[in-house]
Structure 1
Amino acid sequence: MDVIDEKIIAELARNARIPHAELASRVLLSRTAVRQRIERLERQGHIAGYTIVRPGENADDGVVSALVLIYRQDRMRGGDVLAALKRIPEVVICEVLSGEFDIMVRLEAASLERVREIWEDIARMPGVRDTTTALTLSNVVNRPRRVKESKEPAAGG
């Protein structure tokens, strides 16, 4: 990825529906060159997925979020737990941690009842020793994924 790719991604992050012609004028390329770069960025995995937000609705309406911190029986042999977590559609983030907890899971479910069901399922998984769960009360910062910084030197320096 180069500086122009970074600019394209920044513009798309602001408005994913920006016409190629307008995007091209903002990054000083032809419309065809922008389309080709976007296709390449999609193939490389830098651009993936589409989001639908209905007009007048908050994207978080009706979603209950929770963090589940999981202690495993054996930190070195927890592949079955990770495989089972991958199969739960409400698991939006699953990370293996260092420190006191072994796994951190973020759930986004349609109801508090569904969060409870998932928590019970996780607690019953073979290899899970204990869990700690916290419900999200409010979302203060929700930044899109950061783009890696360019390795190119600054202009004029």
Structure 2
Amino acid sequence: MDAIDEQIIAELTRNARISHAELANRVLLSRTAVRQRIERLERHGHIAGYTIVRPEDSAGADVVSALVLVHRRDRMRGGDVLAALKRIPEVVICEILSGDFDIMVRLEAASLERVRDIWEDIARLPGVRDTVTSLTLSKVVSRPRRAKDSTVGE
């Protein structure tokens, strides 16, 4: 990744719906070059997806959040568990941990029933030994992830 890639990611972070033409103007490249860079960034995992962010005072308030702590049967060969977690759309964070638990999963689902269904699916995965689940009661701090300051020539 170079400075232009960083700039593209920063612009997409600010507005994921920006047109390739507008993005090209902002990073001083052609539309084709911007499209090719975005495709490469997606292939290499620098852009993993696009999402919708809703204000807390609107429809986002009815989202049920939960943390699922996962014990795998085999820490070193548990890639199939990670692959299965990546396929669950309600998984918004999945991190490998050191310490007592192997994986931390944050779910954001439309209902408590959906959280339960996902928890049951995770618990049934062949590589999972045990889980501990906690529901989020309230958010104290919720900061959007900030892109690195990569503005060039400003």
Structure-2-length-normalised TM-score: 0.66
Shift of 1:36: 3.2
Tell me, yes or no, if the aligned pair for 1:11 and 1:23 is still in contact at 8 Å: no
Structure 1 residues 11 and 62 mapped into 2: Cα distance closer, same or farther (>3 Å)?
A: same
Tell me the residue number matched to 1:140.
141
Q: In 2, Cα distance between the equivalents of 1:119 and 1:143?
A: 26
Q: Is contact 1:95-1:105 (8 Å) kept? A: yes
TM-score by length of 1: 0.65
Aligned identity (percent) is 68
Q: Which is higher, the Rg of structure 1 or of structure 2? A: 1
Secondary structure (helix, strand or coil) at the match of 1:38 reads helix
**CA distance 1:91–1:10, change in 2 (3 Å):** closer
AA at the equivalent of 1:41: R
Unaligned runs of 5+ in 1: none
**Matching residue's letter, 2:141:** V
1:141 is displaced (CA, Å) by 2.9
CA offsets 1:13-45 (integer angstroms, 9 cap, x no match): 223344635862x55x3xxx2423421221212
- Offset, 1:54: 7.8
User: CA separation of 1:14/1:72 partners in 2, compared to 1, >3 Å: closer, same or farther?
Assistant: closer
Q: Deviations over 1:52-99 (max 9, x none)?
A: 5689x8463432121111112332343443344344332233332222
